[in-house]
Amino acid sequence: MIRFKSLFLVFFFLIFNTLITKSFSNDNIYKKIDLFSEVLDKINKQYVDVVDQSDVMDSAINGVLQSLDPYSAYMSPEMFENMATETSGEFGGLGIEVGMEAGVVKVISPIDNSPAYRVGVKAGDYIVKINNIQVQGKSLAEAVELMRGPVGSDIEITVRRRGERKALSFTITREIIQVASVKSEIKDKNVGYIRLTSFNENSSKQIEEKIKEFKKNKNIQHYILDLRNNPGGLLSQAIKISDFFLENGEIVSTKSRKETENRKWFAKKGDILNGDTILVLINYGSASASEIVAGALKDHKRAILIGDRTYGKGSVQSIIPLNNKGAIRLTVSKYYLPSGDSISEVGVIPDFEIAEETDLFRINTNTDNQLDFALKLLNG
């Protein structure tokens, strides 16, 4: 018991050591440490089940981080190794990008043609159970770990969805998720349609190549950039892709705790489309880098935005390794659009708000009323 209490005293001394000298009086912080130690001592003595001290420590660390924002979190050494290790062929996924909101795992977006997408999981769904295990109270890393498993194995997830009175359950078969970042085709004989599903290191090069191919076709007069269900990716790629369509001006800025670390990025002269009309499709599954591109083009009045309000993830996280071979994911800065507006919790508002019409809605199919609206807007 003494060891249990001592561990917590040491733990919280390390956590708050910096705060002692900068934010609190010594008396105040030591009172908080004593209070926390007392609570944990009561848990250890009186809780109905025996608790694992290591697990409780991990939960305490994670609680500190998750109290900051939905995206900061602790990763144990095992979780960090799983994140960092390539598991080609060994583990399968569902094909969803997830985050935390008010202690609940939330779907940011399903990946195109992934197992989750095919069964009907949607951006904004709240995952409440995984294989009949309650998710609330678990960290994001713990929930993701529950979703991992061998390729070909089944998993049942239960979600809550806005507008639905009852929970929805989906049985999903895990697969190796392969993401085709850029897809393109010609619509209505005169519209170059480009679908960007993530911002990886090759996205800007692939988009540039697709546009060059379209420009060889003299019938192409208009363009559509589809960022729906794109959860984001590399900031550098968002900047390059925005720059393709802008002649000049600010693209995005980031602000950190230290003013010396604040940064701004500007467009270089030259619009790859030479001023041709471009529409951008967005929805609640468009997050982070997608919001940077959509917001920059909207602020500069370079594109018309169609669809639903975006997710509102306007912050930058860094993975910081720890001495125990675990890591923390910590928010280190926030994005700001050229207008000076923050994306966080607000998102980007489309010029034309067009909601998905039915539960059968699928992107770039005959049920895609948002794409239909865009094509009608371009061609009357």
Residues with catalytic roles:
288, 299, 313
Largest CA distance in the chain: 79
How far apart are the C-alpha atoms of 203 and 181, rounded to whole Å?
6
Question: What's 261's DSSP letter?
Answer: G
- CB-based contact 347:309 (threshold 8 Å): yes
Distance (Å) of CA 303 to CA 81, 191, 242, 243, 350:
42, 15, 11, 13, 10
What is the signed CA dihedral for 204, 207, 213, 215, rounded to 10 degrees?
Answer: -90
Q: Which two tokens stand for residue 255?
A: 């602000």
**CA dist 77 to 13, 55, 58, 93, 118, Å?**
21, 13, 11, 21, 33
Q: Which of 123, 69, 65 is nearest to 97 (CA)?
A: 123
Instruction: Tell me which amino acid residue 121 is.
Output: V
Alpha-carbon distance of 236 to 289, in angstroms, equals 9
The answer to whether 364 touches 375, Cβ cutoff 8 Å, is no
Dihedral pair phi/psi, residue 275, rounded to 5°: 85, 0
What is the Cβ-side half-sphere exposure of residue 90, based on CA atoms within 13 angstroms?
5
| β-sheet with 277-282: strand ranges across | 182-187, 191-196, 222-226, 277-282, 304-307, 352-353
Beta bridge partners of 265: 252
Residue 311 in contact with residue 286, Cβ under 8 Å?
yes
- Report the run of H or E that residue 321 belongs to, with start and end: strand 315-321
Q: Give all strands (DSSP E) within 174-302, no chain letters.
A: 182-187, 191-196, 222-226, 250-256, 263-266, 277-282
